[in-house]
Amino acid sequence: MEMKKHQEDQFAKLTAFLNETKQPFINVQTDQITRAMELLKVLPAAQDAVLEYYGKFFDYAISTYLKQLKVQPSWVESSNTSSRHEPPIIPPEVIENVTNIRDVLLRLVEEDHLVWAPVVLHWSYKLLGKVSKHYNMHEFARMPLGDMLRFWSQCSVAYILVDINNKTIAKMVKSEGERSVDSMIETMLGYKSSSFEWVLAQIGDSFPSLVIMDMLLCGIKEMCATNKFKHTEKLNSFIRILDHLSITYFANIKEVVLQLFKLSLSEEHQKMTAENVTIVPFLLHMAMCSSTLLKSMLCENLIQITPEVLNKLLPLYPQWKDFFDDQCNLLDIMVQVLLNADRGIKHVFSLIFQLIDCEDPKFKILKTGAQSLFELFLAELEYSLRTNHTTPPIVKALVTNLHTIKPYLLSTNVNVAQPAARLLSCIAIRDEECLLPYIATMLVECENGTQLETLVEILSFGVNMANFDGGLVYALVKPDISLANVWNNINTLLSLESDPPEGISLHGVSMAVVSHLDKICRSMIDCCHSGDMYSAHLLSSILSKVAAKLCMKEMSVPKVLYCVKAAVLYFFTCLFKEQDEMFKLKACLRMNKFVNTVSYRSSIARTAAMKYILDGVLKEPFSLLFVMPANRRNDYIIQPLEKTSLMGIFLQQKFNSMFGEEISVKFDKDELHPKHKTPVFDAKSVQFNELRLVSFLRSCYSSDECYSFEPTLDTVVSLALLVVQFVSPDVMYNGLPWPDEDFTKVTIERDVHIYHTITTKPILWTILGILAGHRPALCYCSVLLRAVCACLINHWGAVNHTKGKSKDNPQLLDETVKLLNTMSLGQLLPKPLDVLGVIVQELTPQQILIVLRDCVWTYTRDHIPAPALFLRNNIGGMWRDTMAVSVPKPYSDSLRLTMIENISQFGDLYARLFTNNKEQSTET
């Protein structure tokens, strides 16, 4: 009986429910909803119907919302400025009912999630799909995902529905673990219409990893099934969702991608499912379509991918092949992906270079793969850079990440360095600026041939040479580096420029170097001061290499002077310090050439050069170079060191003033202070030094490049004047005339000084000899000769009193002979006085005194040795016509008488001088 009652009860409930379903929703009361809920629990058979009823109610609630939208379309249009319009309102009782339904369902889920969660989830998913479609069938056909989300988020009912969905998933995830909802989400992902996208995006907002993973797995399954990658509408939809999620959950996306990737890294390939094999091709394909995925792939997670890891993937390749065809093979895709890559590119490159650099035979296939990939990539990059106006996204990323390839540029492995160089060159096509620091770095850091080769590679690519100058500037201003290596590299580059190997053009290196001449010179001076001969040689080699280019460029006067100074200093330092004769000789010749090149265009340079040479010659320490050991006198040591202008303050370069001083102090103390060490040069080297000096000097005033021709008179005259300037301490009596001998008393101190200088620096005789050779340049040195002569006369006079022999004063005699010979050579003493130099050696001091006073002093006093006396002869030289104008008797008589006194020795000479003369005079 009870059973019957129960049966009737149940049927009554069912009938009541069925009747309610026929009523319009507007009248639905809350208790109806709860009554229906009882059925849900008690009568499993009625479950579907009740859920459908609930669904319909939701649908109704949303449709009231949508209907209001239709009434106020302006609200949709001005959704951005929605503050003015209130969003449409759903009647509160409807909202209450909807909330009730939600509570009911969630309570059920909470009570027994194993049973109810799938049911509720399925229901909410179906309903959401239906609602979305319903909405879509309304007026707004295809909307961006963001708008769609915004639109739905304003609909509270839809929001509640999503809430039910998400809470149910949350419950399942919480009590059964993440994977329990996979199948459900997979079902959801099976949606057909893009109108459902927003729902997944919403779920994704709550369970990012879950949805992302399942979406990707779904794509993989599809690809696996068709054995081909198809860019379907579904994938587009996934991509849109991913893009949406990437705003907040980018880290999750990265994590999921990594997880997926790891799935394909199983140890046993036989056991792997087809899906796992498909992962990598799928991800690659997807990266082409979705920038979000691309970014998530190319991120710091790449660090975890090592060559070992890739090696594990290798056996999968044959299976991957199925997913690529000819139009779209693996490498092409990877290249495309790379071209679109963003910041993560640095990790890719580090991996690629790591592979290329790898010598392990295990990774041979990978290595070749990486190489060909990179080749293709570079080719593609270059092509697009050269043809398109748009820049591939990678370029920007590369420019900012260029520093990461620096170590590869400097790699000693050609296989690594070369691709890196090409990469840099490619980027330079679009952005030349970026080259500069790398050229600079390489100039500074290249230490061996391979590295330099890379630099050459970069420079010879395209128009990169144009940036060399800039790079050099960068390199030279880098603080805290030793420039030695830079110079070394530049030197090598210069040699390559002048003698370029096949296919390489380094035209422009020397021009760039020329503009940094002052820097080179400065370095050279520093090296000379510090005694670093190796660097000095290097710099000199650079100088001599760019010398040819010097003329092409207008150079400022200070620069010219500076480089001349450097050259001269280097020359002297070489003679002074270089041990190897060969190097010494080479250096000297190099400098000859250099100075010649510089000075033959610029008289300033020439004058400066000569000035510096004289300065060096006359002052310690370089004057020691030219002192024969026999002539060494004690006062070299006791004499205080003078400051030469080579060592000291230099007008133009402020920086140098301090610097030079510092150096010279150091120079003095450490190397050359006589108390510490007196450099000794043996006779052979002094001769050599003299020889070198002369040729150096010649190269200064020679007017052509090979200094084979005679210099112009002007240059020699200027040398003569310089000599005077340097030797004579006074400017007053430097004129040509030889005054009365007594007059010398006025200038006695000066004369003594000149005499002392000349005798202690015998190299001056050599210089005077040169001057004498270029008549009438010696005339301008009259003052010097005069001073020497005056001093000699006095000295011989003193000797005369002691009645000694002239041979007892070898020094004095030597000076006398030198003076006389020089004067004869310069034709200051015409015939027959020109033999005096030979004769005096045999004379007594008394006779020497007479000869000097009568023949030399008196003659030159009366016949002032003016340049006007010299005439140009038929072979182009200047000549004093001594044949026509012979020395008047009073001046030669002393000589003649002296010779007669010693006729036993000079008979032959006498006959030639005077007898012929008489014959001539009798004839006339």
Q: Contact residues for other proteins (CB under 8 A)?
A: 3-4, 6-7, 10-11, 14-15, 18, 21, 42-49, 51-53, 115
CB of 248 to other proteins, least distance (A): 38
Give DSSP secondary structure letters for 68-130: HHHH-HHHHHTGGGTTSSPPP---HHHHHHHHHHHHHHHHHHHH-HHHHHHHHHHHHHHHHHH
Please count the other Cβ atoms lying within 10 Å of the Cβ belonging to residue 808. 11
Q: Which is nearer to other proteins, 36 or 672 (CB)?
A: 36
Look up residue 806 and give its DSSP letter.
G
Using CA atoms in the order 229, 234, 236, 238, what is the torsion angle rounded to 10 degrees? -100
CA distances from 670 to 256, 673, 674, 682 (A): 70, 7, 10, 22
Give DSSP secondary structure letters for 364-412: HHHHHHHHHHHHHHHHHHHHHHHH-SSPPHHHHHHHHTGGGGHHHHT-S
Structure token digits, residue 392:
């591939």
CA distances from 559 to 520, 567, 616 (A): 11, 12, 20
Q: Which is nearer to other proteins, 10 or 79 (CB)?
A: 10
d(CA 363, CA 314): 10
CB of 120 to other proteins, least distance (A): 12
Structure token digits, residue 482:
């030793």
580-605: b or e for each residue (b if 16 or more CB lie within 10 Å)?
eeeebebbbebbbbbbbbbbbebeeb
CB of 14 to other proteins, least distance (A): 5
Q: Which is nearer to other proteins, 61 or 566 (CB)?
A: 61
CB of 18 to other proteins, least distance (A): 5
CA distances from 373 to 328, 346, 368 (A): 14, 16, 8
CB of 12 to other proteins, least distance (A): 11
Residue 27: Cβ-neighbour burial (10 angstroms; 0-12, 13-18, 19+): exposed
CB of 105 to other proteins, least distance (A): 14
Q: Which is nearer to other proteins, 4 or 801 (CB)?
A: 4
CB of 57 to other proteins, least distance (A): 12
Look up residue 502 and give its DSSP letter.
T
Which residues lie below 8 Å from residue 14, measured CB to CB, with a gap of 6+? 39, 43, 46
Q: Which is nearer to other proteins, 9 or 447 (CB)?
A: 9
- Does residue 325 sit in helix, strand or coil? strand
Which residues lie below 8 Å from residue 317, measured CB to CB, with a gap of 6+? 330
Q: Are 860 and 816 in contact (CB under 8 A)?
A: no
CA distances from 648 to 610, 637, 709 (A): 17, 21, 34
- Does residue 882 sit in helix, strand or coil? coil
User: Whose CA is closest to 491, among 461, 526, 524, 528?
Assistant: 524
Q: Are 37 and 20 in contact (CB under 8 A)?
A: no
CB of 86 to other proteins, least distance (A): 35
CB of 66 to other proteins, least distance (A): 21
Q: Which is nearer to other proteins, 275 or 671 (CB)?
A: 275
CB of 50 to other proteins, least distance (A): 8
Q: Which is nearer to other proteins, 27 or 579 (CB)?
A: 27
Q: Which is nearer to other proteins, 17 or 377 (CB)?
A: 17
CB of 138 to other proteins, least distance (A): 22
Q: Which is nearer to other proteins, 22 or 684 (CB)?
A: 22
Instruction: Name beta bridge partners: 328.
Output: 325
CB of 45 to other proteins, least distance (A): 4
CB of 41 to other proteins, least distance (A): 8
CB of 8 to other proteins, least distance (A): 9
Please count the other Cβ atoms lying within 10 Å of the Cβ belonging to residue 194. 18
d(CA 671, CA 665): 10
Q: Which is nearer to other proteins, 27 or 390 (CB)?
A: 27
User: Whose CA is closest to 604, among 665, 639, 547, 563?
Assistant: 563
Please count the other Cβ atoms lying within 10 Å of the Cβ belonging to residue 615. 23
User: Whose CA is closest to 845, among 891, 795, 892?
Assistant: 795
Which residues lie below 8 Å from residue 436, measured CB to CB, with a gap of 6+? 467, 470, 471, 473, 474
d(CA 88, CA 209): 34
Q: Which is nearer to other proteins, 15 or 482 (CB)?
A: 15
Q: Are 58 and 157 in contact (CB under 8 A)?
A: yes
CB of 11 to other proteins, least distance (A): 6
CB of 15 to other proteins, least distance (A): 7
Q: Which is nearer to other proteins, 46 or 647 (CB)?
A: 46
User: Whose CA is closest to 286, among 354, 326, 237?
Assistant: 237
Structure token digits, residue 125:
């998913």
Q: Which is nearer to other proteins, 1 or 706 (CB)?
A: 1
d(CA 427, CA 385): 8
Q: Which is nearer to other proteins, 46 or 280 (CB)?
A: 46
CB of 23 to other proteins, least distance (A): 12
Polymer length of the chain: 924
Q: Which is nearer to other proteins, 40 or 313 (CB)?
A: 40
CB of 32 to other proteins, least distance (A): 14
Q: Which is nearer to other proteins, 21 or 495 (CB)?
A: 21
Q: Which is nearer to other proteins, 16 or 225 (CB)?
A: 16
Q: Which is nearer to other proteins, 14 or 724 (CB)?
A: 14
